[in-house]
Structure 1
Amino acid sequence: MNADALFAMMVAQGDVVIDRFRHAVRHHPDHLFIRYGEEDHDQSFAAFEAEVATLAAALQDMGLQPDDRVSVFTRNSRVATLAMFAVWEAGGIYAPVNFNYTGRLLSYQLADTAPRVLITDAALAPAVADSLGDIAVPHVVVHRPSPADHDYVADRAELPPALIAHGGVHDLADLMRTPRRHQPAERGAADVANIIYTSGTTGPAKGVVQPFRWINQYTFNSRAFLTPDDTIYCDLPLYHVGGAMFLVAKACWTGCAVSLWDKFSPTRFWDRVRGHRASNAVLLDVMVPWLMSAEPQATDRDNTLMRVHMQPLPAQHHQVAQRFGFQFCTAGFGQTESGNGFVALIDQFGDVDAKRPEFRVGHDRDTMLRIARDRGVMVVDGREPLAKGFMGRPSPLLEAAVLDADDTVLGPEQAGQLAFRPRFPHLLLTHYFNKPDATIKTFSNLWFHTGDAVRRTEDGVYYFIDRMGGFFRVRGENVSSYQVEDLLNAHPDIRATAALPVPAAEGDEEDCAVFIELVEGRAMTEADLRAFALTVMPRYMAPRHVRFVDALPVTPTNKIEKYKLKQVLLAELAADGAGAGA
């Protein structure tokens, strides 16, 4: 199927997620939609829509107009989901906030977004009160759990006086007490759906302005592999596109259920999957080694998880799939700005059934392969080795290229920056909110620059190398933090590694530092680590600084917070007189 046909198919399926939600409510109102596992609370599409309508009416009563922004700052994933759909129904823009933010980080995003309404938790209200200051937020809606609720915090039950003094405070439960109907907003492909902020690891966070068609594009390929009988497992936070769009929103196109949880639990993961018969999930970064570190059991495949997206794709993906019975894995490239630029389907079991009949859910293998073939999705045999960083081939909806520093397109096997051009309108971000200079820079020479370093093979397969900032210069050589981590993680005693650069004691280059988290119950010395490193990597790549930690600091999406590690190490080196400034 060519790009024009794929685009026509995508548009025909519906550009606007809220239209697809309404369609699901009309055509299968009693089908389960939200299964909130934290409180064992199931809702059909119709029951959830009634609550969405009530909150949307309340937002409109607060004066919410089309394209007004609503910031959502909550740890409760059900409240976040309710807010997201209500904001869309009322015509507003969903602008979630990382629930770990406090102080300047929180103040910056609220000031930048300038929302008409802020929806938050009682437990987070002190952080809101401290951060609002002179920021004008006309309305604050507070989720105040009762003592019987799982997220009740006794010493945060009362709102801080500073927040009450700010004015315009509403209790969410009071707003939801009497069912009401709203005035449905009509939205189109080019209308703004979301402002999702990037992590800001290399500078101030940027609000990515996404039109509704962006959601359609981002979920288009992955939802093709779903059926109404599937259940999507979601434990990712809804302030990122992975949880909010790739897992929750896409269920509206298929009419399937979402198993919703507030956070990942390595000890309860399989009980959750089995309890809700979840068949699709996303495993990010350290989630895989956490699950693999558990003692193998004869019943490991006795679960309904049939299809799993892994990002980044770990070297041991086939072993993971074989152990837990994942019939298929998907790999690719997902980004807040560009959506789903690459996708590949990995057939992990071939003609062999991954599960016993009672654990099979969704499409059979032949149907999955046919769907992939019809859409031009690359299919690979999971038994065959894949080079690290494998992403597959580009989506036909986007033109992809590898660029050098002057935006010249590079040839095969040359490392450079990944860039996209949309073949059709409204597929990528519209712009960075309030940052015209950043928008112009990232779209220079009519390419969207992803900030990621990749390489392309002769046959058009792309491989991720690192963030452009993930390269550092050691002894005249370019070293990739991703490569260092990948090589060291091959040691059976290592659960996870974080590699990062620190200023060298002499000269203008950098030294490599690694922080190591060991598998529980295992032991390793610095000498052991250094000896192993020299067996798997060139000497120039071997780390100069080695530190062992009980646990690597991670975000709620399980991305390692390297900046925290770097701060600790630089302070230590400075105290020892062995390092330079940041």
Structure 2
Amino acid sequence: MGPRDFTDPRIPNRDECVLRHLLDRHAAQQPDKTHVIFEDGEEWSFAEVRRRVIAKAVGLQKLGVTRGERVAVWLPNGREGLLAFYAINYLGAVFVPFNTAYRGNLLAHVLKNSDARILLCHPDLAPRLAEVELAGIAQLVLTGPAAPGTPPLPVVQFADLDGTEEELAPLAAPIEPWELQSIIYTSGTTGPSKGVLSSYLHMFSNAGPESWPMVGSDDRYMTVAPLFHIGGMGPPFVMLARGASVAIVENFSTERFWETVRATRSTVVFLLGVMATFLMKQPPGPHDRDHGVKLAFMVPFTEQAPAFTERFGIDIYTIFNMTEIASPCVSEANPRKRGTCGRVRPGVEVRLVDANDCEVPVGEIGEMLVRSDRPWGLNSGYNNNPEATAEAWRNGWFHTGDAFRRDEEGYFYFVDRVKDAIRRRGENISSFEVEVEVCAHPTVREAAAIGVPSEYSEDEVMVVIAPVPGQTIDVVELSTFLAGRMPYFMVPRYIRVIDELPKTPSAKVQKAKLRREGITADTWDREKAGMRLRRDAIG
């Protein structure tokens, strides 16, 4: 790195945080070091990645892609997805990935919202385009032969996007850290998906060296999350920022997880949601510690974390993050406080507030607000949605929509989505905390806690659960189990067992759908079954 380009010390140099300049620097300084490894064992060095990226960038340039243009990408994890991401940013264009589960109205919405002219698409997905209004899409780039039903648009094969570095048009000026890098669509659990506008500085701040100091230049981060999700797009970027490597895996598999870790020689993994639960519920074996992983991020951080460390020999960290922000809370290794998501990291400010944005006392529950001391360090709003942008960025702070409490030592604890909280007979109940306790039962794979109308007033607690494969859930035994672990008012009255919880295309549980379905004919009612709870025991 040369002398600082910016007088503001909060802004890194371009070759520390802008993808094109980062890739150029590492390819020059450490050309033979591996930057990416795939599931089949193929590895690409920094020099090889740069060569392949420039070839695709030239091909996109020949299609007329210009700096600042939005380019839509509808691809699964793999070589083409990674090259599309890097090549688009190498030109200074904007990477706009779509969830591969989208179809119908969701697909039509993001096509229109994105303002994209070109769509890089897997051929198996292309026939879905015939079902919707294509908005501004005028060119398809397919990663294989067109399938029957593909709409009659001009088609170019991704393999034919090619060119040499000599053909690459030079930049009129360097790409700046505050320029738009990506638009990532949120899950849309409460309405149409929102496109989060992210600058290079936002992506760098999300999990860069200052946010995640425990991850270094010699690490290899295995990502199983899709590239259309911040959890999948972020790892290649943040490991590039470190001059380190990433393992690209198509998706999470409980059975193949440790085998893939060993094959890719990964040292860092991210365990989101129920992944850690699934791994812990696998039978113990002699190879549980036969791997090179030194640390894992576990979100949420539950009571099983110490057992996970003991069994697999891995240090556990936890964080709080969402697409719009930049890891404002990060823990130390193996935090002693159950349920924490860490403390505020340097470079950000966090407040917990009431409905009027007034700060709540320590120990009380409030919505988390975040701001950064770095310009462009958080999201730049929502694409073509000024109303949602204004609502989220009130009073100079970003409103997360998540309720937390903070203890005297500065540790934060996630309580619930503000809109998901349950109120039963004067008690405020965290659906998240109910779900954690329910999932602690060995036969439960996943759970969603919701409030349903009570014949008395306010809500009753209901859980919708799915079993561990091969297991049967005994609802009476589960209810007794929970009564011994939870305050009486939190123990669910209603339990419904289904094979799989309904999910959004981003794999978030559709609680709104479960609320609409409410108390179904197959729902078990604890009180009708004669199990009434007193304040200290089962009656």
TM over 0.5: yes
Deviations 1:223-258 (A, max 9, x none): 53334432211111011111111x111111222221
How far apart, CA to CA, are the structure 2 residues paired with 1:549 and 1:322? 32
Q: State whether residues 321 and 328 of structure 2, in contact with CA within 8 Å, keep that contact through their aligned partners in structure 1.
A: yes
In the superposition, relative to structure 1, how do residues 546 and 477 fare at CA in structure 2: closer, same or farther (>3 Å)?
same
How far apart, CA to CA, are the structure 2 residues paired with 1:97 and 1:447? 28
Percent sequence identity is: 32
Structure 2 letter corresponding to 1:169:
V
Unaligned runs of 5+ in 2: 1-7, 524-539
What is aligned with 1:257? Answer: 245
What is aligned with 1:387? Answer: 338
What is aligned with 1:204? Answer: 192
Tell me whether 1:332 sits opposite 2:281 in the alignment: no
In the superposition, relative to structure 1, how do residues 36 and 561 fare at CA in structure 2: closer, same or farther (>3 Å)?
farther
Q: State whether residues 66 and 91 of structure 1, in contact with CA within 8 Å, keep that contact through their aligned partners in structure 2.
A: yes
Deviations 1:515-567 (A, max 9, x none): 22333444332222222232222333222321223344556765434445445
**Residue 260 of structure 2: which of 264, 269, 272 is its match?**
272
* SS of the residue 2:218 aligns to: coil
**Residue 417 of structure 2: which of 464, 467, 471 is its match?**
467
Tell me whether 1:34 sits opposite 2:36 in the alignment: yes
How far apart, CA to CA, are the structure 2 residues paired with 1:9 and 1:518? 48
What is aligned with 1:377? Answer: none
Q: State whether residues 11 and 374 of structure 2, in contact with CA within 8 Å, keep that contact through their aligned partners in structure 1.
A: no
1:219-258 residue pairs with structure 2 within 5 A?
Answer: 219-220=207-208, 221=210, 224-245=213-234, 247-258=235-246
Tell me whether 1:539 sits opposite 2:539 in the alignment: no
How far apart, CA to CA, are the structure 2 residues paired with 1:500 and 1:301? 38
Tell me whether 1:138 sits opposite 2:156 in the alignment: no
Q: State whether residues 17 and 215 of structure 1, in contact with CA within 8 Å, keep that contact through their aligned partners in structure 2.
A: no
What is aligned with 1:113? Answer: 114
Count of aligned pairs between the two proteins: 513
What is aligned with 1:450? Answer: 400
1:180-219 residue pairs with structure 2 within 5 A?
Answer: 181-183=167-169, 185=171, 186-219=174-207
* SS of the residue 1:339 aligns to: coil
How far apart, CA to CA, are the structure 1 residues paired with 2:431 and 2:170? 48
* Deviation of 1:9 (Å): 7.3
What is aligned with 1:20? Answer: 22
**Aligned-residue RMSD, C-alpha:** 2.4
Structure 1 letter corresponding to 2:17:
D
How far apart, CA to CA, are the structure 1 residues paired with 2:67 and 2:109? 24
How far apart, CA to CA, are the structure 2 residues paired with 1:310 and 1:533? 23
Q: State whether residues 129 and 160 of structure 1, in contact with CA within 8 Å, keep that contact through their aligned partners in structure 2.
A: no
Q: State whether residues 284 and 557 of structure 1, in contact with CA within 8 Å, keep that contact through their aligned partners in structure 2.
A: no
How far apart, CA to CA, are the structure 2 residues paired with 1:10 and 1:296? 47
**TM score, norm. by length of structure 2:** 0.89
* Deviation of 1:31 (Å): 1.4
Deviations 1:326-380 (A, max 9, x none): 1x22211111111111111214xxxxxxxxxxxxxxxxxxxxxxxxxxxxxxxx4
* Deviation of 1:487 (Å): 1.8
Q: State whether residues 270 and 296 of structure 2, in contact with CA within 8 Å, keep that contact through their aligned partners in structure 1.
A: yes
Deviations 1:368-418 (A, max 9, x none): xxxxxxxxxxxx4xxx4x132x12211221111101111111120010000
How far apart, CA to CA, are the structure 1 residues paired with 2:167 and 2:50? 10
How far apart, CA to CA, are the structure 2 residues paired with 1:514 and 1:180? 61
Q: State whether residues 89 and 184 of structure 1, in contact with CA within 8 Å, keep that contact through their aligned partners in structure 2.
A: no
In the superposition, relative to structure 1, how do residues 503 and 178 fare at CA in structure 2: closer, same or farther (>3 Å)?
farther
How far apart, CA to CA, are the structure 2 residues paired with 1:452 and 1:140? 38
What is aligned with 1:71? Answer: 72
How far apart, CA to CA, are the structure 2 residues paired with 1:40 and 1:555? 32
* Deviation of 1:262 (Å): 0.9
Structure 2 letter corresponding to 1:534:
A
1:429-448 residue pairs with structure 2 within 5 A?
Answer: 429-448=379-398
How far apart, CA to CA, are the structure 2 residues paired with 1:224 and 1:487? 31
* SS of the residue 1:136 aligns to: coil
* SS of the residue 1:340 aligns to: coil
* Deviation of 1:16 (Å): 1.5
* SS of the residue 1:407 aligns to: coil
Deviations 1:479-533 (A, max 9, x none): 21111111222223333322123344x4663332212233344433222222223
In the superposition, relative to structure 1, how do residues 235 and 555 fare at CA in structure 2: closer, same or farther (>3 Å)?
farther
Structure 1 letter corresponding to 2:338:
A
What is aligned with 1:361? Answer: none
1:368-517 residue pairs with structure 2 within 5 A?
Answer: 380=335, 384=336, 386-388=337-339, 390-504=340-454, 506=455, 509-517=458-466
1:290-309 residue pairs with structure 2 within 5 A?
Answer: 290-309=278-297
Q: State whether residues 224 and 251 of structure 2, in contact with CA within 8 Å, keep that contact through their aligned partners in structure 1.
A: yes
1:324-363 residue pairs with structure 2 within 5 A?
Answer: 324-326=312-314, 328-347=315-334
How far apart, CA to CA, are the structure 2 residues paired with 1:107 and 1:542? 41
* Deviation of 1:453 (Å): 0.3
What is aligned with 2:302? Answer: 314
Deviations 1:408-451 (A, max 9, x none): 11120010000012222111111111111111111111111111
What is aligned with 1:525? Answer: 474
* Deviation of 1:470 (Å): 1.9
Deviations 1:249-277 (A, max 9, x none): 11112222211111111111111111111
How far apart, CA to CA, are the structure 1 residues paired with 2:306 and 2:443? 19
Moved more, 336-345 or 104-113: 336-345
Q: State whether residues 126 and 150 of structure 2, in contact with CA within 8 Å, keep that contact through their aligned partners in structure 1.
A: no
More helix by share: 1
Moved more, 542-551 or 201-210: 542-551
How far apart, CA to CA, are the structure 2 residues paired with 1:140 and 1:514? 44
How far apart, CA to CA, are the structure 1 residues paired with 2:301 and 2:352? 20
In the superposition, relative to structure 1, how do residues 99 and 184 fare at CA in structure 2: closer, same or farther (>3 Å)?
farther
* Deviation of 1:573 (Å): 8.3
Unaligned runs of 5+ in 1: 1-6, 145-156, 348-379, 575-582
Q: State whether residues 271 and 297 of structure 2, in contact with CA within 8 Å, keep that contact through their aligned partners in structure 1.
A: yes
Q: State whether residues 99 and 506 of structure 2, in contact with CA within 8 Å, keep that contact through their aligned partners in structure 1.
A: no
Tell me whether 1:174 sits opposite 2:150 in the alignment: no
What is aligned with 1:375? Answer: none
How far apart, CA to CA, are the structure 2 residues paired with 1:501 and 1:182? 57
How far apart, CA to CA, are the structure 2 residues paired with 1:462 and 1:426? 24
How far apart, CA to CA, are the structure 2 residues paired with 1:143 and 1:572? 46
Structure 2 letter corresponding to 1:332:
I
* Deviation of 1:474 (Å): 2.2
Q: State whether residues 337 and 429 of structure 1, in contact with CA within 8 Å, keep that contact through their aligned partners in structure 2.
A: yes
How far apart, CA to CA, are the structure 2 residues paired with 1:339 and 1:271? 31
1:129-168 residue pairs with structure 2 within 5 A?
Answer: 129-131=130-132, 133-144=133-144, 158-161=146-149, 163=151, 165=152, 167-168=153-154
How far apart, CA to CA, are the structure 2 residues paired with 1:279 and 1:113? 36
What is aligned with 1:51? Answer: 52
What is aligned with 2:536? Answer: none
* Deviation of 1:57 (Å): 1.2
